[in-house]
Amino acid sequence: MDLLIIRHAAAENREEFARQGRPDSERPLTRRGIERMQMAARGLTTFALPIERLVTSPAARAEQTAEVVASALECRRIECERVFSADASMERAVDWLRRQPRVDGMAVVGHEPGLGRLAECLIGGRACGNMPIKKGGMVLIRFDDAIDHGSGKLVWALPPAVLRRLTE
């Protein structure tokens, strides 16, 4: 199984948005964030990944990112799971992934620092905080067997600028 980990694209400024009195979970992507994510998602299509499931954090910025990716990959359905929320624990995410039915490919959209730590844990067995994912960046991890700590193999980790250049 391939697991594509995607950090949400650039969102509105956290402090400015907070001054409006709205919760951070409602903070949307910027127009530029959407445009750049559309280009990165087009670049992603050059890999012809078999993504059968697209799962996102319920935060607006993650859902918007998932919608852009779904459009590019022609995914018909996006699932929301709190285990990929900004405040969710990495252990809950690993446990959730372990319990999922096996598919050829799954993509998850979420937040830092959780996603980088999740990738480290799945590849190296523990999270050290040394694998941050840029906004709009993606990491592809392959599992030959069951998903667990240290059982994944890093296929690639690409910043958004590289993904966007794949469309040139």
Q: Output the tens digit of pLDDT for each of the chain's 168 residues.
A: 999 999 999 999 999 999 999 999 999 999 999 999 999 999 999 999 999 999 999 999 999 999 999 999 999 899 999 999 999 998 999 999 999 999 999 999 999 999 999 999 999 999 888 899 999 999 999 999 999 999 999 999 999 999 999 987
Hey, which residues does 79 pair with through a beta bridge? 55
State pTM to two decimals. 0.96
Q: Give me the domains of the chain, ranges plus CATH numbers.
A: 2-165 (3.40.50.1240)
| Predicted local distance difference test score (pLDDT) of residue 167 | 85
| Predicted local distance difference test score (pLDDT) of residue 59 | 98
Owner of token pair 């590289």: 162
Task: DSSP for 85-149, please give it.
Answer: STT--HHHHHHHHHTSPP-SEEEEEE-TTHHHHHHHHHHHSS--S-----TT-EEEEEESS---T
Strand 152-158 to strand 78-80: parallel, antiparallel, or no bridges (unpaired)? unpaired
